[in-house]
Structure 1
Amino acid sequence: MAHLGSGRRRLLAVPIGLALTASLGVLPAMTASAATLDGVAATASDYTGPKLSYVVNLERTGPGTAKQVTKAIEAVGGTVVHAYEQIGVIVAHSQNPDFAKQIRAAKGVTSAGATRTAPLSPVQTTEEGSTQVLTADEAAKAAAEAAPGQEPLEPNQWDLRKIKADEAHAINLGSSKVTVGVIDTGVDDTHPDLAPNFSKEQSANCVGGVADQTDGAWRPYADGSDHGTHVAGTIAAARNGVGISGVAPGVKVAGIKVSEPGTSLFFTEAVVCGFVFAAEHNIQVTNNSYYVDPWYFNCKDDDDQKALVEAIGRATKYAERKGTLNVASAGNSNWDLAGESIVDTTSPDDATPVTRTIDPRKCLDLPTQLPGVVSVSATGDQGLRSYYSSYGLGVIDVAGPGGDKWQVPDTPDKNGRVLSTLPGGGYGYKQGTSMAGPHVAGVAALIKSKHPNFTPAQVQAALKAEADEMACPDKVYDATGALVDATATCKSYGTQTGYYGAGLINALRAVKW
């Protein structure tokens, strides 16, 4: 699922000086007496603990529903950043170490929790399967082999041919009335392959939990990731005689930036903002190639994590009700998301991780395991599940080309990763479920282009119906490139498998559907 580079980001564990309790940092004591909801109200300045961000989920939704809870938030030393009354979620900040516990007791609140475990400090991140930049020699070799009607670099796009997107384009390039929102690290709208299809009016920076549509706010940070731009190119790079082609080169693409500056961390308040923004700006499909930090899995028996699940679940459901289909990557940890247990050694990733064993049927990977979200696994050129891709019977809906360095295609570059756009006008290769997701989002956009009145549920049903059914393989590649037995890990039920869901998406069948 993303992140980054290889599809799902893996971050270096960087201690930042706070010892952890079960889910919150051990914070400095308050300077004034503890606030209560009944006594004299405290103010935010009465507390000297590190400032954390919270989501507060309300019992009711609609105009005016946040008024009472806003007063309660202020009474226990919090400040409201933004109230999403349409889904009953308030984003708040507080330096009160007991803020979450106290606000949970307030009338009208169903749950509340910190969106992080410690004040954010910029950290150096690493990207699994980091970008391989396309060289001038590689580009020239591809262009020399391009057939009439192909984009210059299209000979290297094995992934388009794998899902018959090149054949689909002869029938339908996609409609400019359909927009795919890339909820990610930002999109470079100045790239010559993206500029023709980019929608500024439907783009924003949601970091912090409030949408900022200032011109260029949606672009990657100057020292930031190329991930969102790569994802955008796979979806909607134009057929304009430049570079590559996207899966749906006639649709619009928008950038919704949700990653923190100096990091590749995606916190709940930004993700909630992203889904609500997409819902209210006529975005028909969102692509989500990430997991929501700081927890790889969010367990409902933890008060903080429970609140994050509820807030993001409300946001995705709201988007669906407004006509948006949400597509998400399943992750790059080679985990069975339908299994009985997973040992997570990566969480929380905004401080020092602790090892914990979780049940993925009860502790959710967000947003890919939320109801209604299309969960995508990754395949390589040979059609086998990519060695890194997570999987799970009943979890994975469909599969898409994510790349696999061990599955080498017969292309000019012989590179099994996925070629797409990079900030600054360049091109490069990445592999991961982050790359599989945008292929599915692109095909969903083609379906929506042909059937503009389809609901998100109908688009999802069409994605599954047009997919090429794939049986469990006998063997798959492992991380070392060795072929290993797959019969013990790939489970099936009817035509569904844990590796591929309903199968590998088919763009040609989608435009004929």
Structure 2
Amino acid sequence: MKLLLALILAFQAPRTLIYPPIPKPTQETIAIVLLEKPHTEKEINELIRPFRDVKLRRVFREAITGFSVQGKSQAIARLAGNKQILNISPVTQYRVQTEGSVKIIGGDAVRSIFDQKNQRLTGKGVTVGVIDTGVDYTHPDLKKNYAGGHDLVDNDRDPMETKVLGQATIHGTHVAGIIAANGKIKGVAPEAQIVAYRALGPGGGGTTEQVLAAIEQAIKDKVDIVNLSLGNDINGPDLPISLALNRAVDKGIVAVAASGNSGPNVWTVGSPGTASKAISVGASTPTMEIPSLLIEGSRNRLRIQPMEGSANWALDRSLEIVEGGIGRKTELNQVQGKLVLMKRGTLTFSEKAENARQAGAAAVLIYNNMSGGFMGNLDTQSSIPVGSLSKADGVILQKKIKQGLSARVLVAEERDQLADFSSRGPVTGSWEIKPDIVAPGVAINSTVPGGYLSLQGTSMAAPHVAGACALIKQAHPDWTPEQIKAALMNTAKPLVKTGGADSSKATVTAKTGSYYRTFEQGAGRIQVDEAIKTASLVTPSSIQFGKFSDERDSHKAVLHVENTSERSARYSFTIPNRVDGLSWRFPLSFTLEPHEAKDVMVELRVDPQIFKGKIHDGYLRLQAGARTIQIPYLYVLEEPGYPRVMGFDFAEADKPGQYRYEVYLPGGAEEFGIALFNPEDYRFIGFLDTAVNVKKGLIKQDIPSEQLPAEGTYLVKVFAKKANKEDFIETMIKIGEKVD
């Protein structure tokens, strides 16, 4: 999608937006078709022959059993009536979501461990597929590791990064360097081989079809691990990419996916980080100095997220704070030597920073124009500090500015905190815990075309895990993807919220801090050295008991406990702290001989008359010899309040003059629509699109030019009605105007 041509801004309307009843429902699109059993290409052509407006594009046999088609939406919808077809899903857009961090996860400690061939653990002999924007295989730190690849955008064998001016990409090269750089920078597994799959093209965007084709090719190439530092914000377990990753795992490939950068709210994890069998990765902070703003005469202490390319925030004096609008030069006439607060939007971060620098500002803070915080990158190195604030903190600071207060920047060392931007779970519908684990994803230095750059995001966290998997695979070549995932999760370090608390302490108290929720961090931050040395494995490595619905209900989970060591070991569960209305049943203590395994049952009983929580989660603790294994669990007592409408995106389509939207409905809808309003007086203008009896899943539709309103900015209400309940998103869109 050409996202630069359409802007979506979070917007909270000051009053209810009223629209009339939707009209009765009546264009060409691409869709993924899942089949019940494999078909030859000839059989598929026969299947779609009756539908003149439907054309076959690709056949998938490895990643999924199915094919992609292009044609009129109505014809594709009729195709769904064939009994051989399981599901039809419109394609969606996917986008790209170091030395210090390698040490944190135990990467340096691993170098003293040897594999079965008496070789140091460096990832040697292991192949990692990087499904991304391509890789600059000429980079001196990657030339030794590059083992070929495929371009699924241009359909050739050259997966080089896009070099087109204005749309050049660097993301895949950065990811590859974190995994296996072997030069000035050392990746987690510096001798692993990298196979590049270019599935995201100019500007870092790609489609479901391209990513599926990359997974398909990686399976054919028999890579050991695939890394997908890409995704969307659709929280659903049933999207084609998620299903394809599950299939890849079934075929023996370890699948690693970024959870997304839409935190800190819950229900924000996106596909493919929602894939059940993949390792979904959130982002934590390495050891770093984090600035915060202390407002004089106030208890408010606002956390600053430094932008990549910012000067050091170690300011040793009080600064007057002034408002700078959105950062235009005309708004910065009186900022000499002051800290300037700007609102995000219209201008790029670099333009805002440069305008402030030229006006003599001492520092710049940019606050979000939608809920939550954000991370940003400057195009060039700035000579003044530049950082971001959450919307809430920006509002606080605005109020303090009117009081004429000054502020001082305090810098404190922070380590092993969950990054604000890291997407949280759980997964809608399946109630699975995602992400599974976290890894460093803030201020990660790695390779880019022509040099090195520090970036942040779960895109940087995921390749730490992919590299860790390569080390484990070298040490234990016979382990399955499930065992490798279990080794990382069973030995992870659960992270503790806030200020210097240490989760290694036996007791986490209100004074020392509290654990992040399981659906925020999964099992915790990876410790690859511990994972390689683990003497026991427990699978599955997290438990989702599902949804309790009866008056008095119980759910059971079977855990497979394996002694991977050469010594016998004794195992026993620790009974969780008492909670009224909850009761646990565990097996008695047991002993396993070397390489012996056993299935044990854990039961949770809930009395809904006593326990009133909607979601309950925590960690079960299994004493395995001298080590304690923590197993995340989660259950849902009542249908939680997750969003019934999500992932709305609006942008220019492939054909000139047309626009495209996509939206995900986790539970479907009896009525769905996109209503347009005048943003000035909230007057209803018309419907952009409507539908009735919509199945759950992703909706994607092109809007021809004749159905579009005049160029301009509009307030839209995207709504879904089901069982007399309406959920909606209110947002702003621009039509026909280019936006930076």
* Fold shared by both chains (TM-score > 0.5): yes
Alpha-carbon separation, structure 2, partners of 1:389 and 1:10: 25
Q: Tell me the equivalent position of 1:237.
A: 181
Q: What do residues 383-440 of structure 1 show as CA deviations (whole Å, max 9, x unaligned)? A: 111121122462121110001xxxxxxxxxxxxx11000013x101101111111101
Alignment CA distance shift 1:331-1:12 (3 Å): farther
Alpha-carbon separation, structure 2, partners of 1:377 and 1:498: 10
Q: What SS is found at the alignment partner of 2:33?
A: strand
Q: Tell me the equivalent position of 2:272.
A: 367
Contact 2:417–2:496 (CA<8 Å) still a contact in 1? Answer: no
Q: Tell me the equivalent position of 1:57.
A: 34
Which of the residues 111, 117, 121 maps onto 1:169?
111
Which of the residues 65, 80, 96 maps onto 1:88?
65
Q: Report which of the two has the higher share of helix.
A: 1
Q: Does 1:395 align with 2:395?
A: no
Deviation, structure 1 residue 167:
2.5
Q: What do residues 287-345 of structure 1 show as CA deviations (whole Å, max 9, x unaligned)? A: 111114xxx21668xxxxxxxx35324321221122111111111121444x5xx6xxx
Alpha-carbon separation, structure 2, partners of 1:213 and 1:472: 47
Q: Tell me the equivalent position of 2:190.
A: 249
Alignment CA distance shift 1:98-1:299 (3 Å): farther
Alpha-carbon separation, structure 2, partners of 1:454 and 1:116: 34
Give 1:419's aligned amino acid.
Answer: N
Q: What do residues 220-265 of structure 1 show as CA deviations (whole Å, max 9, x unaligned)? A: 3444210110000000001xxx3200001111111111113x3322
Q: Does 1:101 align with 2:101?
A: no
Which of the residues 137, 143, 147 maps onto 1:195?
143
Q: What SS is found at the alignment partner of 1:510?
A: helix
Contact 1:224–1:263 (CA<8 Å) still a contact in 2? Answer: yes
Q: Tell me the equivalent position of 2:661.
A: none
Give 2:100's aligned amino acid.
Answer: W
Alignment CA distance shift 1:14-1:475 (3 Å): farther
Deviation, structure 1 residue 271:
1.5
Alignment CA distance shift 1:13-1:459 (3 Å): farther
Q: What SS is found at the alignment partner of 2:204?
A: coil
Q: Normalising by the residue count of structure 2, what TM-score does the alignment of the two structures yield? A: 0.46
Q: Tell me the equivalent position of 2:582.
A: none
Give 2:36's aligned amino acid.
Answer: E
Contact 1:266–1:291 (CA<8 Å) still a contact in 2? Answer: no
Unmatched runs of 5 consecutive residues or more in structure 1: 1-8, 17-28, 30-48, 129-153, 301-308, 343-363, 404-416, 477-484
Q: Does 1:274 align with 2:214?
A: yes
Whose Rg is larger? Answer: 2
Give 1:460's aligned amino acid.
Answer: K
Q: What SS is found at the alignment partner of 2:522?
A: coil
Give 1:503's aligned amino acid.
Answer: G
Alignment CA distance shift 1:220-1:454 (3 Å): farther
Q: Tell me the equivalent position of 2:199.
A: 258
Q: Tell me the equivalent position of 2:6.
A: 14
Question: How much identity, in percent, do the aligned residues show?
Answer: 31
Q: Tell me the equivalent position of 2:257.
A: 328
Greater RCO, 1 or 2 (C-alpha within 8 Å, sep 6+): 1
Deviation, structure 1 residue 284:
1.1
Q: How many residues are matched?
A: 366
Give the root-mean-square deviation of aligned CA atoms: 3.3
Alpha-carbon separation, structure 2, partners of 1:181 and 1:383: 28
Alpha-carbon separation, structure 1, partners of 2:6 and 2:174: 27
Give 1:91's aligned amino acid.
Answer: S
Alignment CA distance shift 1:488-1:79 (3 Å): farther
Q: Tell me the equivalent position of 1:110.
A: 86
Q: Normalising by the residue count of structure 1, what TM-score does the alignment of the two structures yield? A: 0.65
Deviation, structure 1 residue 114:
2.4
Alpha-carbon separation, structure 2, partners of 1:108 and 1:487: 57
Q: Tell me the equivalent position of 1:297.
A: 234
Q: Report which of the two has the higher share of strand.
A: 2
Contact 1:376–1:437 (CA<8 Å) still a contact in 2? Answer: yes
Contact 2:58–2:67 (CA<8 Å) still a contact in 1? Answer: yes
Q: Tell me the equivalent position of 1:207.
A: 153
Q: What do residues 118-174 of structure 1 show as CA deviations (whole Å, max 9, x unaligned)? A: xx9xxxx9x89xxxxxxxxxxxxxxxxxxxxxxxxx7xx321221121222243343
Q: Tell me the equivalent position of 2:669.
A: none
Q: Tell me the equivalent position of 1:350.
A: none
Unmatched runs of 5 consecutive residues or more in structure 2: 9-25, 114-119, 288-414, 427-432, 502-509, 535-740
Which of the residues 457, 462, 474 maps onto 2:487?
462
Contact 1:247–1:439 (CA<8 Å) still a contact in 2? Answer: yes
